Structure 1
Amino acid sequence: MVTDLPFLLQSMAWPLVLLLAWFLGERLHEAWQIPRVTSYVAVGLLASLINLPGLTNAVPGLPFLANVALSLVLFELGYRINLRWFRHNPWVLALGLVESVVTFAAVYLASGLFDLPTDTRLIIAALSVSASPAGIVRVANELRSAGQVTERVLHLCAINCLVSVLALKLVIGYWYLSTSGDLLQAAFGSIHVLATSVAVGALLGVAMPALLRSQRIQERDVTLVFALAVVLLTTMSYGLKLSPLLAALSFGIVARERRVHLTNAQRGFGTAGDLLTIFLFVYIAALLDWSEAGTGLVLGLVLIVVRTAAKVVCNVGAARLSGSTERKGLLTGLALTPMSAFAILLLEQSRLYGFGPAGQVLTVMAAMMLVQELLGPLVTQRSLMAAAETHVTKE
């Protein structure tokens, strides 16, 4: 029995940590309106600080489970994207693309103030383009937020994620080219992953609605079917070395266009989605190394300021052109502050697929990720509240 004690402690780590995260999330949200995901991150960071055994590396399959959790959120984000809005108001699409390019350029130039290799600067800039769909969607659902600012934040978040994946794949292709000199491998690795990920997600987005209509499945079962489809999509992406995040986002966008309706009661995929969200934020936070955060603190703070300024300036500058106001543009830019979960999983996927610099970049960005994970959801929450688009009632 004594020899089994370490294994028992490792086995109990995740259930206990998730239970603690849920408990603190509910208490702090009720007492001070702290976003629940912020509490989940805090528990994960604390577990990482004390190096709780079995939290990140003793249990196999944790990266896959984290990708399933984030893929569910990305499917939901994609499902809330209205492509017709881009046709009626192309300035929103243009704003998202310009803001992504400006953010990339600003972060790349700012990182040049520090002694970093060019590859590392390019990767940091590509990741900084993204906004965290997990943080933004969960906060919006928690507040039952709806309105112009909320819709812009969701649509711009989707654009940011797409451009971030594209930029990172191009950087990976550049890295392969510079290290091996194989132009074919570099081009194939980037273009193939991007195109095939989108194609697989879009194909499933066409096939699943057709299957649902042919089987006359009841509306309350639609959410379950789509959740299983996302798990299938993530598994396929792992097997084919594609991007499960990009595939899930494409799946949601196409499913929305095929006119399949999810029930409002199952927004966030119900109780299973809540459990996976707790796991996702605890796991992502536990991946960060506190010992590296102090060394890159100045770099992290500078990049946070530059990234936030780029998004705010672009949204304020294009507010009138895109049919909004400067105040709403300011709130939209601030609401895009979270970025950590999406960026960290992108790095983890790249590392698993053989991209050498990924581990080094996570170390360099540890301080930036830590601050963004803790404060990002809070900034999004306060921005949506200031926009007066929340619809939370006392139970």
Structure 2
Amino acid sequence: MNPFTTSTGAPLWTLEGLRGADPVLGLALLMVLAVVLADWLHRHARLPLACGHMLVGALASPLVLSLLERKELDSWKPLIDLAIAVLVFELGTRIRPRWLIDNPALALTSVLEGVFAGLAVSASLILLGVPLLSAAVAGTVAMSTSPVITLAVLHETRPRGQVTERLLLMTAVNSVLAMVLLKVWHVVGASAGRDLITTTVSALYVVSGSVLLGAVCGLLLEVLSRRLRGTSAMPVLQIGLVIIASLLAVQWTMSPLLALLVAGVVARARMRHALTVEPQLGSAGAALSVVLFVCLGLLLTLDGLLRLWPWVLAIVLARMVGKGLAVALLARPSGLGWRQAGALTIALQPMSSLAVLLAADTFAWASQLPGMDLSALQALLLAITLMQITGPLWTTVALKHLAREADGVS
């Protein structure tokens, strides 16, 4: 067999040949193309790197060239979950829970912006005729801001200031709220026919077990790192514990997101300035992040947009209104100016598929959200597509030009 042809006989350098290539080779080629194209777009069009990575994935998706099918990504899901886990752990190390105690108005804002967004999305969809259960699930997913987009922009622009710190905190809180509610919904659905006590215990197990697992991993990092601090082995230790926490959370039907956030928070609280966390936990994590954004691009969909655009628009606008209302109501009591409040509202807009990704075993999300109306699910995925592909732009504009907290901005 010719090494430069596929099993179908098509040359590797042709479109047909690329379609028939090994999925591992295909994804590796996409990674290389993503890095080169994203850098070119960043230099010449000032486009955030994450946008370039997702655009390459979108070009290779069934939307355009069909170089990779979405079902071929299922075998890559553990790697994608690991990329998410690395970023979620880093997010946990960068938030300060003590701030919530010192500033009760900020704590209330952190909860209300997610709750208001979820309620606004659910109510708007119900008014448009979406079934109650499906609208509630869509509202739950819409609560969260994308941690991966938030951190990707922060790594690139390196902002510092009130808006940046609040964005990190609120992203963590609303992501946890969305994940926990989805987990509880799964538990309740799986407990149909059981008594209320059993269902409640199962739900408490998910939350308390995730917190306990994360706390143990954070403490382990503090203990095991005592002889490794300041060495090249620290990122390896951090990634190892992230993998352990993530896999155990999945194995024990807990929340990986909550466990990893708690692990990061506990590690920071115990180690303080002795904890040094490289962006994306080093170069290996950076490579995983490129894979993650390419795969997010591959998962983008526009199917049914012309038919479902009223629902999609309702999700995007209702979510923006809900988050903006919560931030504005408590801006002054929490010590935030109006310009900063506007910047924070915009920065919170990139919607996250993280709550769905970590709750699912495969990318066939319809099977992971049983009982949800398929049209409502498609509208939700369309809204996620639009807010995810443009998300880095929203966050960059908010932090760099409105809040003026990024490097090089006066």
Gaps of 5+ in 2: 9-18
Q: For residue 200 of structure 1, what is the aligned residue in structure 2?
A: 213
TM-score w.r.t. length of structure 2: 0.87
Does structure 1 residue 169 correspond to structure 2 residue 183? yes
TM-aligned CA distance change 1:85 to 1:166, over 3 Å: same
Provide the C-alpha distance between the structure 1 equivalents of 2:305 and 2:209, rounded to a whole number of angstroms.
Answer: 36
Shift of 1:359: 9.3
Task: Spell out, residue by residue over 1:78-120, the C-alpha distance to the aligned partner (whole angstroms, 9 max, x if none).
Answer: 1001122122212211111122221121111011123322221
Q: Percent identity?
A: 27
Counterpart of 2:7 in structure 1: which amino acid? D
- Write out per-residue CA displacement over residues 132-165 of structure 1, whole angstroms, 9 at most, x where no aligned residue: 0000111012101111110011111111111112
CA separation of 1:387 and 1:365: change in aligned 2, threshold 3 A:
same
When the two chains are superposed, the root-mean-square deviation of aligned CA atoms in Å is 2.5
Q: Report if aligned partners of 1:337, 1:379 keep a CA contact under 8 Å in 2.
A: yes
> 3-state DSSP class of the match of 2:360?
helix
Mapped pair 1:256 → 2:265: no
Q: Which amino acid aligns with 2:336?
A: S
Query: What is the Cα deviation at residue 220 of structure 1?
Result: 3.8
Match of residue 13 from structure 2: none
Structure 1: which amino acid aligns with 2:407? Answer: H
Distance in 1, Cα, partners of 2:352 & 2:373: 15
Rounded Cα–Cα distance in structure 2 between residues aligned with 1:294 and 1:187: 42
* 1:221 Cα deviation after fit: 2.7
> Where in structure 1 do 4 or more consecutive aligned residues deviate above 6 Å?
none
Q: C-alpha displacement at 1:239, in angstroms? A: 1.9
Indicate the SS of the match to 2:129: coil
SS in 2 for 1:234: helix
TM-score by length of structure 1 reads 0.90
Aligned to 2:354: 342
2:138 equivalent to 1:124 = yes
Aligned to 1:363: 378
Correspondence 1:89-128 to 2 at 5 A: 89-128=103-142
Deviates more, 1:375-384 or 1:192-201: 192-201
Partner of 1:378: 393
The equivalent of 1:62 in structure 2 is 76
Q: 1:84 aligns with which of 74, 92, 98?
A: 98
Give 1 or 2: higher helix fraction: 1
Residues 1-395 of structure 1 aligned to structure 2 (within 5 Å): 1=1, 4=7, 8-48=21-61, 49-50=63-64, 52-58=66-72, 61-176=75-190, 179-180=192-193, 183=196, 186-213=199-226, 215-260=227-272, 261-263=274-276, 266-349=278-361, 355-357=369-371, 360=374, 362-385=377-400, 386-391=402-407
Distance in 1 (CA, whole Å) between partners of 2:244 and 2:366 is 19
Name the CA distance, whole Å, in 2 between partners of 1:258 and 1:306.
40
8 A contact 2:133–2:372 mirrored in 1: no
Whole-Å Cα distance in 1 between the matches of residues 35 and 361 of structure 2?
A: 27
Q: Where does the alignment leave 5 or more consecutive residues of structure 1 unmatched?
A: none
Structure 1 SS opposite 2:21: helix
d(CA) in 2 for partners of 1:359, 1:75 = 33
Q: Which amino acid aligns with 1:100?
A: G
